[in-house]
Chain A
Amino acid sequence: MTASMSQCLMQMVHTDYQISDYQSAITPRWCTGCGDNAILTAMQRLCRDEQLPPEKTVCVSGIGCASRLPHYMNAYGFHGIHGRALPIAEGIKIRRPDLHVFVTTGDGDCCSIGAAHWLHAVRYNMNMTMLLHDNNVYGLTKKQASPTSPKGLKSNTTPFGATLNPLNPLSVTLGIANVSFVAQVPDWIPELLYDVLSKAYHHKGFSFIRILQRCPNFMNHHFDAAVQDPLRIRMLTHSNGLRLKPELSRIYKNQETHDPLDLHRAQALAVLDEEIPVGVLYSNPDVPCYDELRKGKRPNTPQLVETVLNEEFDKVGIWPEGQQAASNGE
Chain B
Amino acid sequence: MTEYGMQTSSHDAPPSESGVASRKLPARGPAEVIQEHIVEIVSDSGEGAQRCGQALASIAARSGHGIWTVEIIPAEIQPPHRSVAGASGNRVRMAAHKVTNVGDQADLVIAFNEQVLLSRLQAKEIKPGAVILIEDMWKHDKDPAIAENYARVTADVRAQGYRLFEIPMETECHKYVPDARKGKNMFVLGILCTIYSLDKALAEAQVRLTFAKKDQKIVDANLELLAAGRAWAEDNLAVRYMIPAAPVVKPQIVTNGNAALALGVVASGMEVCAMYPITPATSASHYLSTIFEKVGCVVHQAEDEISAATFAIGASYAGKCAVTITSGPGLSLKQEAIGLAVMTEIPLVVIDVQRGGPSTGLPTKVEQGDMMSAMFGSHGDAPKIVMAVDSIEDCFYSVITARKIAETFNMVVVILSDAALSTAQQPFDRPQFNADWLAPPVNQSAVPADAHPYDWDERTGIATRFIPGQPNGMHCLTGLAHDRDSHVAYDPQINEEGLLNRSRKLAAFQKTLRLAPVYGDEEGDLLLIGWGSTRGAIEEAVKTMRAQGHKVSSLHLKYLQPMASGIDAVMKRFGKVMTIENNWNDPKSDPLINDANRRYSHLAMLLRSRWLVDIDCWGNARGQPLKPGEIIRAALAKLNEDKQQAAGGL
Contacts and interface: CB of A to CB of B under 8 A. Distances in A.
A89 B269 contact: no
Interface in A89-146: 89-96, 98-99, 116-117, 119-120
Given A54-B474, A58-B468, A304-B296, A117 B307 contact: yes
A138 to B, nearest CB: 18
A156 to B, nearest CB: 23
Contacts of A170: none
A305 B438 contact: yes
The residue in B249, B291, B438, B476 that gathers the most chain A C-beta atoms within 10 A of its C-beta is B476
B272 A91 contact: yes
Interface string A267-297: 0000000000000000000000000001011
A71 interface: yes
B435 interface: yes
A116 B308 CA distance: 12
A325 B247 CA distance: 17
A305 B468 CA distance: 25
A323 B251 contact: yes
B28 interface: no
B317 A78 contact: yes
Contacts of A93: 314, 318
A304 B295 CA distance: 6
Interface in B60-90: 61-62
Interface stretch (A172-180, A217-225, A246-254, A310-318): A310-318
A329 interface: no
Highest count of chain B CB atoms <10 Å: which of A74, A87, A298, A312? A87
B487 interface: yes
B296 A299 contact: yes
Given A77-B477, A91-B312, A298-B295, A55 B251 contact: no
A55 B427 CA distance: 48
Contact of A92 (B249, B266, B468): B468
Contact of B473 (A76, A80, A117): A76
Given A91-B315, A96-B318, A294 B253 contact: no
Contacts of A300: 269, 271, 295-297
Interface stretch (B298-306, B562-570, B580-588): B298-306
Interface string B243-277: 00001111111110001000100110101101000
Contacts of A80: 310, 313, 340, 479
A95 B467 CA distance: 13
A87 B312 CA distance: 9
Contact of B469 (A59, A99, A318, A321): A99
A98 B306 CA distance: 26
A3 B61 CA distance: 49
Contacts of A316: 253-255, 259
Given A296-B298, A305-B267, A308-B291, A87 B336 contact: no
Interface in A60-94: 60, 70-71, 73-81, 84, 86-94
A74 B473 CA distance: 10
A321 B315 CA distance: 45
Contacts of A58: 318, 468
Among A299, A301, A306, A323, which residue has the most Cβ atoms of chain B within 10 A?
Answer: A306
Contact of A55 (B249, B307, B435, B468): B468
Indicate the member of A55, A98, A117 with the most B CB atoms within 10 Å: A55
Contact of B310 (A73, A87, A318): A87
Contacts of B427: 318
Contacts of A299: 296
A116 B307 contact: yes
Given A55-B468, A91-B272, A320 B314 contact: no
The contact size tier of chain A is: 35 or more
Nearest to B340: A81
A309 interface: yes
A1 interface: no
Interface in B302-338: 302-304, 306-308, 310-320, 322, 336-337
A297 B296 contact: yes
B469 A88 contact: no
Nearest to B298: A294
Interface in A1-36: 3, 6, 10, 24, 26
B444 A96 contact: no
Given A87-B311, A116-B307, A316-B254, A81 B337 contact: yes
A160 interface: no
A108 to B, nearest CB: 16
Nearest to A296: B296
A96 B471 CA distance: 16
A117 B296 contact: no
A81 to B, nearest CB: 5
Given A91-B316, A96-B468, A318-B251, A24 B476 contact: yes
Given A55-B469, A55-B474, A320 B319 contact: no
Given A91-B314, A92-B317, A323-B251, A78 B297 contact: no
A320 B250 CA distance: 6
Nearest to A26: B487
Given A76-B468, A318-B427, A309 B266 contact: yes
A29 B25 CA distance: 92
A320 B247 contact: yes
Contact of B319 (A79, A88, A95, A321): A95
Contact of A308 (B251, B254, B274, B295): B295
A76 B473 CA distance: 8
B312 A318 contact: no
B62 A313 contact: no
A3 B438 CA distance: 21
Contacts of B304: 116
B475 interface: yes
B476 A78 contact: yes
B295 A321 contact: no
Contact of A88 (B255, B314, B336, B473): B314
B253 A120 contact: no
Interface string A242-270: 00000000000000000000000000000
* B317, B427, B435, B473 interface centre (most CB from chain A within 10 Å): B317
B435 A94 contact: no
Given A55-B470, A58-B468, A91-B272, A317 B252 contact: yes
A56 interface: yes
Nearest to B294: A308
Contacts of A317: 251-253, 430
Contacts of B144: none
B161 interface: no
Contacts of B468: 55-56, 58, 76, 92, 96, 99
A95 B307 contact: no
B524 to A, nearest CB: 37
Given A79-B478, A92-B468, A297 B293 contact: yes
B517 interface: no
18 contacts: A55-B470, A56-B468, A73-B476, A78-B314, A78-B344, A80-B340, A80-B479, A81-B310, A84-B310, A84-B337, A92-B314, A92-B317, A94-B300, A96-B319, A120-B302, A300-B271, A305-B438, A308-B266
The 9 closest A-B pairs by CB, nearest first: A91-B314, A77-B476, A296-B296, A87-B307, A91-B315, A88-B314, A91-B311, A79-B478, A120-B303
Given A294-B298, A312-B263, 15 more contacts: A3-B469, A55-B472, A71-B487, A76-B475, A78-B344, A81-B310, A90-B300, A92-B314, A99-B469, A298-B296, A306-B435, A309-B267, A317-B251, A320-B250, A320-B251
Interface of B: 61-62, 247-255, 259, 263, 266-267, 269, 271-272, 274, 291, 293-298, 300, 302-304, 306-308, 310-320, 322, 336-337, 340, 344, 427, 430-431, 433, 435, 438, 444, 466, 468-480, 487-488
